[in-house]
Structure 1
Amino acid sequence: MGIILAIVAIAIVLGLAWLLSNDKKYIPFKGIGIMLVAQVIITWFMFNTSVGETIILAISDLFNKLISFGRSGAEFVIGGIEISGDQVFLFDVLMIIIFFATILSVLTYIRILPITIKYVGAVLSKITGLPKIESFNAVNSLFFGQSEALLGIKSQFHRLTDNRLYIVSASAMGSVSASIVGAYMTMIPPEYVLVALPLNMFSALIVASIIAPVKTEEEDDEVDVKDVSGAKSVFEAMANGALDGGKIALIVAAMLIAFLASLELVNWIIGSIFTGVTLQQILGYVLAPLVFLMGVPMDEVINAGSLMGTKIITNEFVAMTQYGDISAQFSDKTKAIVSVFLTSFANFSSIGIIAGTVAGISSEKGRIVSRFGMKLLVGATLASVLSATIAGLFV
């Protein structure tokens, strides 16, 4: 029964994307089929084979070790502050972002990341038939934030038609930055975060390729990874990474303060009209039918839907802070589905971030992104639903 419901959920996602399509006759069905099969194989391998489970455990251990290193730096800075409770967001999440951004900057400077991304993107392009720029950007979005990923292809923006611009923007919104993956892993189960990364990359491409299909491959596409860092030494790269990480941590903190406070305000207004009712509960009921089709047991759909809805209207960090309060009520299947869904930038605030970044590169293309902003959010949300549904099939 669960498999049938999941197939229905996947069909709904693909069907809605088809209804939104700009040009249905150019939809790359072969490439979409290949990516769907790749998602199923990856999820099965990572969840249902001893080798896959060993790989996930090894990567999780590596990230946990890196997180412990990050905490050492945080302890020096904020040492002596009395900590109560299981987790302090400033210490266990925001400070970790700074360390991971530093590592990312160093790996970019020594060109390990740029070269890896270029050639993995080339392989992805060959397998799926997608143009090189879109494939490179999809892989690039696994490691860098929305703004950084788009800036990485700014020299090729003149080649991007409206549909191609939609695809690269969707990849940026449907993914997450490696600099904050460590922070996510302190808030939700690490194994689901790791599985979500490749699933979301493929899901974003699948949905975007249906909504905004590219007619022909651009043979003259170029992907240049020279001088992507801008740093003159490894120490400058470390400093730049630390500063960038500090900015990200500050932005996350500011957005959390604003969104959580606003959420409390909205709940107070709703509660004054309908006693005991919250916005999260309303969102849970609205999304309940879809959440049930995704594989969540009936007695858990409201709470799961409330987290998913909260993520869409605020951001993933707000939802993740609430995840810990109710996750004990969830089955393993629901934990997998909700965690994978939360691991992306698909929310309202991302529309402004992406449109602003694109406008900084090309004002004309920035206006184009602003026009299809809501369509971008719908597509990225459908991609999150697709990833979460596939993950739930193997738990």
Structure 2
Amino acid sequence: MTLLQLQAALGLPLLCLLAWACGGCRRGVRPRVVVAGLLSQLLLAGALLHIPPLRQGFAAVGDAVEALARATRAGTVLVFGYLGGGPLPFAETLPGGSFILFFQALPLVLVVGALSAVLYHWRVLPLVVDALAAGLRRFFGLSGACNLSVAANIFVGMVEAPLLIRPWLGSLTRSELFVAMVAGLATISGNMLVVYATMIAPVVPDAAGQLLTASLIAAPAAILAGLLMLPEDAARPVAAPDGPMPRLYDSTMDAVLRGTADGLQLLLGIMASLIVFVALVALVNAMLEPLTGLTLQRIAGVAFWPLAWAMGIPAEECATVARSLGIKVVVNEFVSYLDLAASGGAGLAERSRIILTYALCGFTNFGSVGIMVTGMTALCPERRAEITALGLKSLVAASIACCMAGATVGVLLPP
């Protein structure tokens, strides 16, 4: 094991200690949770990164993403012409200037939204989610409803996953409710995975497979971080969902139409949040920089430097990684991945780019907290005050969970 791998191996327990310290609860942490959390992350990452058949299977995800991108481009070219990626009617004087994010990359959300709905209706996604939930139950001993929500978050968004356990939300313990919220922020949905994989493919090898692995590792990391910050007072099971996951669509065509509509809502939400949050950050920087010489990105670069080091990043690259982590929290992970792709990973070795890819793989930003809290209080209004109080705390836990995923890969990847 190299020095950087030992650094990441030391970083994992330090991140656990940070989560425990941020929670302020000195009792109730079960050793089983810590052992299960660390072991499950390392086993999952080791299997997916180093067992050839599994690695090849996840590499095939990249081919599927490219096929989706080509298929989507056919639709965007038909509707938007050269704005959507078709042949330019003029000479491109600025390399890359013809790429328009909204017309060429974001429409993938529509296609994947429709495809995800179809796979759910055909019972493919429920089968996978049920299997993952059963595995989490054996490791952590949480209720079936909580495990189902965490497992679903690997594929769907932070509001859709709680929707699947809506009848049991009110009966979850406070710790399990918190874990469900942390998992929603520490993972990304399938449609965004495809978009991000397309964006960073030129700078991160096997980008789609890496992102899917990251989302899988983040599930036990979210449970670990959540239970370290807010431990269970006692292990008491909550009524688990009986029978198969509920049917949401009447037919395949209904799934396509409603999945497309949900994708459109998400696409417009992404566009709006990107405009607003990038503008707000620019506005704060415009006021802050003349007075202090600092920007939010520079402040974040200092604040997140220890977390970058804990993931096994070389000291000379920690500032660059910390800056990306800061942008993720202040704005969102979309801008961080966009920045990584635009810079070509400048200043970062390939190993550092892969670790950063894992650490960025989560909805850990203030805007997502607002979306999650709003959605979950609508699903469970009787626990509105509790959900609201746990909102920012879940952001801290989810950020630590994403860094745990990065540190796990840092342990297993040699320089």
Q: Which residue of 1 aligns with 2:405?
A: 387
* Corresponding position: 1:239 with 2:241: no
Letter in 1 for 2:137: S
Distance 1:29 1:94, change over 3 A: same
Letter in 2 for 1:59: V
CA distance in 1, matches of 2:389, 2:383: 10
Paired positions, count: 393
CA distance in 2, matches of 1:223, 1:328: 51
Letter in 2 for 1:310: I
Structure 1 spans left out of the alignment, 5+ residues:
none
Distance 1:125 1:340, change over 3 A: same
Letter in 1 for 2:64: L
Q: Which residue of 2 aligns with 1:129?
A: 141
- 59-68 or 376-385: bigger deviation: 59-68
Q: Which residue of 1 aligns with 2:322?
A: 305
CA distance in 1, matches of 2:132, 2:303: 39
Letter in 1 for 2:40: A
Deviation at 1:378, TM superposition (A): 0.9
Letter in 2 for 1:42: L
Q: Which residue of 2 aligns with 1:106?
A: 118
Match of 1:329, SS state, is coil
Give TM-score scaled by structure 2 length. 0.88
Distance 1:219 1:168, change over 3 A: closer
Q: Which residue of 1 aligns with 2:77?
A: 75
Q: Which residue of 1 aligns with 2:5?
A: 3
CA shift digits 1:326-345 (9 cap, x unpaired) = 31321012101211111101
* Corresponding position: 1:138 with 2:150: yes
CA distance in 2, matches of 1:283, 1:102: 37
Distance 1:25 1:269, change over 3 A: closer
CA distance in 1, matches of 2:211, 2:322: 19
Q: Which residue of 1 aligns with 2:340?
A: 323
* Corresponding position: 1:350 with 2:368: yes
CA distance in 1, matches of 2:147, 2:63: 29
Residue of 170, 179, 188 corresponding to 1:158? 170
CA distance in 1, matches of 2:242, 2:386: 23
CA shift digits 1:303-341 (9 cap, x unpaired) = 211110010111111212211233132101210121111
Match of 2:156, SS state, is coil
Deviation at 1:18, TM superposition (A): 2.1
Distance 1:260 1:223, change over 3 A: farther
Q: Which residue of 1 aligns with 2:311?
A: 294
Residue of 59, 62, 68 corresponding to 2:61? 59
Aligned partners of 2:159 and 2:375 also within 8 Å:
yes
Deviation at 1:45, TM superposition (A): 2.8
Aligned partners of 1:45 and 1:52 also within 8 Å:
yes
Letter in 2 for 1:60: G
Aligned partners of 2:65 and 2:198 also within 8 Å:
no
Deviation at 1:289, TM superposition (A): 2.7
Aligned partners of 2:14 and 2:310 also within 8 Å:
no
Deviation at 1:238, TM superposition (A): 0.3
Q: Which residue of 1 aligns with 2:212?
A: 194
Letter in 1 for 2:55: E
Deviation at 1:383, TM superposition (A): 0.5
Distance 1:65 1:223, change over 3 A: farther
Aligned partners of 2:151 and 2:219 also within 8 Å:
yes
Deviation at 1:21, TM superposition (A): 4.4
Letter in 2 for 1:291: A
CA distance in 2, matches of 1:76, 1:204: 42
CA shift digits 1:83-114 (9 cap, x unpaired) = 66544312342100110000001111122212
Structure 2 spans left out of the alignment, 5+ residues:
none
Deviation at 1:25, TM superposition (A): 4.4
Distance 1:88 1:223, change over 3 A: farther
CA distance in 1, matches of 2:169, 2:47: 36
CA distance in 2, matches of 1:362, 1:169: 13
CA shift digits 1:129-169 (9 cap, x unpaired) = 22211111111111111111111111112211222211111
In the TM superposition, 1:181-260 aligns within 5 A as: 181-188=193-200, 189=204, 190=207, 191-214=209-232, 215-218=234-237, 220-223=239-242, 225-229=244-248, 231-260=249-278
Distance 1:209 1:236, change over 3 A: same
CA distance in 2, matches of 1:371, 1:30: 27
CA shift digits 1:265-323 (9 cap, x unpaired) = 22222332355x43212211222233123222222211211110010111111212211
CA distance in 2, matches of 1:158, 1:359: 11
* Corresponding position: 1:361 with 2:363: no
Letter in 2 for 1:366: R
* Corresponding position: 1:263 with 2:275: no
CA distance in 2, matches of 1:392, 1:88: 34
- 71-80 or 100-109: bigger deviation: 71-80
Give TM-score scaled by structure 1 length. 0.93
CA distance in 1, matches of 2:22, 2:305: 23
Aligned partners of 1:164 and 1:212 also within 8 Å:
no
Deviation at 1:22, TM superposition (A): 6.9
Residue of 305, 314, 331 corresponding to 1:314? 331
Q: Which residue of 1 aligns with 2:132?
A: 120
